[in-house]
Structure 1
Amino acid sequence: MRYLLFGAVLALALILGGGEKPARAQESAAPAPDIEAGTEPFAPTEAERIDALFATLADTDDVESAKEAERAILRLWMESGSETVDLLMDWSMTAMQADNHARALDFLDRVVLMQPDYAEGWNKRATVHFLTEDYNRSIADIGKVLELEPRHFGALSGLGMIFRSIGEEERAMTAFREALAVNPHLEEVKKALTELEATHEGQAL
């Protein structure tokens, strides 16, 4: 559960195409635009792809479509653009799965030093700090994640979990609400928020 909320469990999913089926040629209202020789077809940037996926999360009521969009976002966030960083990330994940947190931190320390603008390096290091209950360092790393990617629902969910663990329930609810604002399909976060809200409503009576 803790790995999931920080985005540590990742699925390699391709971004799904969507939209209406193309019209048959004889029904087309306009001819296809001419493509000049030597030009390449338009391809969206990574940022544009992520924006489109977040729009899907916000708009869809279909559970499977939401999960596909979520997995695609997590996959794109993992792309560092560096073979060395990717290798260090792989090694850190293997160490985390083996509960070798010291080794995982060693790899992740190198990642954030080599590529400080790579949000997922900070996120994974926050995960390890959380697993070792080093909450102050985890919160600090989550702060870096959110500076780089304010929509990081995994980091926001993890921040809520930390605040809940240390009894900061108001701040936990705020973090959970912010996570759900960008990804309303986080069922475990919804459950945690509902439990906290029910507790606070009971105390107010």
Structure 2
Amino acid sequence: MTDGRRWLMAGAVLLCSPALTFLPVQAARAADPAASGPAAPSAAQPAVPVPQAGTAKATPPASSPRPPRKTLHDRLVDAEKALAMAGNEKQAGEISERAEALRSRALTGSVQMLISDSHDALEKHDFQQAQDDLTAAITIQPDQSVLYRQRAAIRLAAGDSNGAIADLGVELQADPGDPTAWGMLAEAEHERHEPEAALKAFHQMLLLNPKSPDSDKQLKTLEQARDGQQD
């Protein structure tokens, strides 16, 4: 089993444009002083309104409202759709990285630190500490399903296929378009000697990412296991 797994720890970078407030300035008119001379007539002459330039023209129509800005979820769905239609492996890799960055966009700084600590522990083969760090991260942000997938990777590396499948179920319920989770599920089912379930999960991964690296070799391994052959 391959222990080296990638976790993208992209920070939540929020680019906020400063709001500009424009205050209309109205010029004050100065009153003319009363002129000296004979008294003015008692009946005041009515003021003649002066038409302003352009008043006879029709008021321009209001500009159409801007379309609503896409949510993080909408952008992730778009990336997943693009991944399924990628033309080659290089393009698929770039789209996959963009999707992973979107999945991690909402993670807080403290959670990212725990992920980093978990990764360090995993490199030292301290699976329990690595899992504890991810569990702490999930406690802080239980709504971020990608954390369950990351803990599943640790459990899978530690040989806990059942625990990995439980975590992957949480991720796939929230993000069924995650090809990495489907690929991990195929691996976990393969470790549990469930070849049909492994193949089903792997075929789903291929639907989402047809240009996945080494997919032909992995598919052959799973098919051999289904047919009762050795890896």
TM-score by length of 1: 0.74
User: 1:8 maps to what in 2?
Assistant: 6
Aligned with 2:125: secondary structure?
coil
Counterparts of 2:214 and 2:172, CA distance in 1: 21
Q: Cα deviations across residues 156-191 of structure 1 (Å, max 9, x unaligned)?
A: 111111111222111110010111111112133342
Gap runs ≥5 in structure 2: 11-61
Q: CA deviation at 1:40?
A: 9.0
User: 2:166 maps to what in 1?
Assistant: 140
Greater Cα offset, 86-95 or 67-76: 86-95
Counterparts of 1:99 and 1:63, CA distance in 2: 31
Code of the aligned partner of 2:6 = A
Aligned with 1:187: secondary structure?
coil
Counterparts of 2:166 and 2:226, CA distance in 1: 27
Question: Counterparts in 2 of 1:1-205, with a 5 A limit?
Answer: 2=2, 8-10=6-8, 43-197=69-223, 200=226
Code of the aligned partner of 1:168 = E
Counterparts of 2:150 and 2:83, CA distance in 1: 23
Code of the aligned partner of 1:8 = R
Q: CA deviation at 1:85?
A: 1.4
Pair 74,3 (structure 1): closer, same or farther in 2 beyond 3 Å: farther
Q: Cα deviations across residues 114-148 of structure 1 (Å, max 9, x unaligned)?
A: 21111121111111111110111111111111111
Greater Cα offset, 154-163 or 52-61: 52-61
Q: Percent identity?
A: 26
Pair 130,202 (structure 1): closer, same or farther in 2 beyond 3 Å: closer
Q: Cα deviations across residues 90-127 of structure 1 (Å, max 9, x unaligned)?
A: 21122222222121111111111221111121111111
Pair 176,162 (structure 1): closer, same or farther in 2 beyond 3 Å: same
Counterparts of 2:225 and 2:169, CA distance in 1: 27
Partners of 1:91 and 1:107 within 8 A in 2: yes
Aligned with 1:140: secondary structure?
helix
Aligned with 2:207: secondary structure?
helix
Task: Give the total of aligned pairs.
Answer: 178
Partners of 1:119 and 1:145 within 8 A in 2: yes
Gap runs ≥5 in structure 1: 13-33
Counterparts of 1:78 and 1:96, CA distance in 2: 19
Pair 3,179 (structure 1): closer, same or farther in 2 beyond 3 Å: farther
Pair 188,62 (structure 1): closer, same or farther in 2 beyond 3 Å: closer
Partners of 2:183 and 2:201 within 8 A in 1: yes
Partners of 1:80 and 1:86 within 8 A in 2: no
Pair 2,45 (structure 1): closer, same or farther in 2 beyond 3 Å: farther
Counterparts of 2:88 and 2:200, CA distance in 1: 26
Counterparts of 1:202 and 1:109, CA distance in 2: 37
